[in-house]
Amino acid sequence: MKASSTAPLAAPSAVSQRRVFEAIALGLIVLLAAGLRFYRIDAQSLWYDEGNSARIAERSIQLILEGAAGDIHPPLYYLLLSLWRSVFGASETALRSLSAVSGIGLVALAWGLGRRLFGIRAGLAAAALLAVSPFAVYYSQEARMYALLALWAALASVWIVTLALPDPSTPSTGSGTGSGQVRWPGAALYALATAAGLYTHYAYPFV
């Protein structure tokens, strides 16, 4: 006897339901983080250090590199801000939005790191706490390199954890995490994130 083709579809698995819940929760947290970081981002004019960022970002790449040689900070943030300025303009909102976007990315990375180390609830909790942290929001509204510095630190942390811990959702191939195919991409990305951090702020070695 043939099975009926009109049989009801199977209910979504518990795993699928958790993934949908996690995606919705993370999306809401990221939206909250974006709202807090862009809310009244232009309420105050640029203060002294932000003004320095704005003036340096006006220069050519060659002059930015030359100026950084005698400055207390490396040039990467200023180079990125110069590129950002050429696309979005030189207003307070435009200049500070690079930090705001970095701060939003940091929230997403906090979720990924917390999830990998301690599970879904920890990842969402980490993202939510960082999203509403006054300290994190404040530095995400400054035309300075601190939010970008935190972003590189989080990226490096994600990749070093990826190298150190196997992904429980990936089936084992029997080759282990020592396989060059598994480790080299992560190692290269870790090196890039670390180099970016070093070229953003001289305090990065403390990370």
Mean residue pLDDT of the chain comes to: 88
- DSSP string covering 21-35, please? HHHHHHHHHHHHHHH
Which pLDDT score, from 0 to 100, does residue 182 have? 53
Which pLDDT score, from 0 to 100, does residue 12 have? 60
Reported as a single tens digit per residue, the pLDDT across 46-60 is: 999 999 999 999 999
**For tokens 């630190």, what's the residue?**
153
Identify the H or E element spanning 157.
Answer: helix 146-164
At 75, the amino acid letter reads: P
pTM of the model: 0.85
Which pLDDT score, from 0 to 100, does residue 117 have? 94
Q: Compute CA 93 distance to the chain's CA centroid, rounded to the nearest angstrom.
A: 19
Reported as a single tens digit per residue, the pLDDT across 123-179 is: 999 999 999 999 999 999 999 999 999 999 999 999 999 888 866 555 444 444 444
Whether 93 contacts 141, CB under 8 Å? no
Which pLDDT score, from 0 to 100, does residue 170 have? 53
Which pLDDT score, from 0 to 100, does residue 174 have? 44
Mean per-residue pLDDT, 201-206: 93
At 195, the amino acid letter reads: A
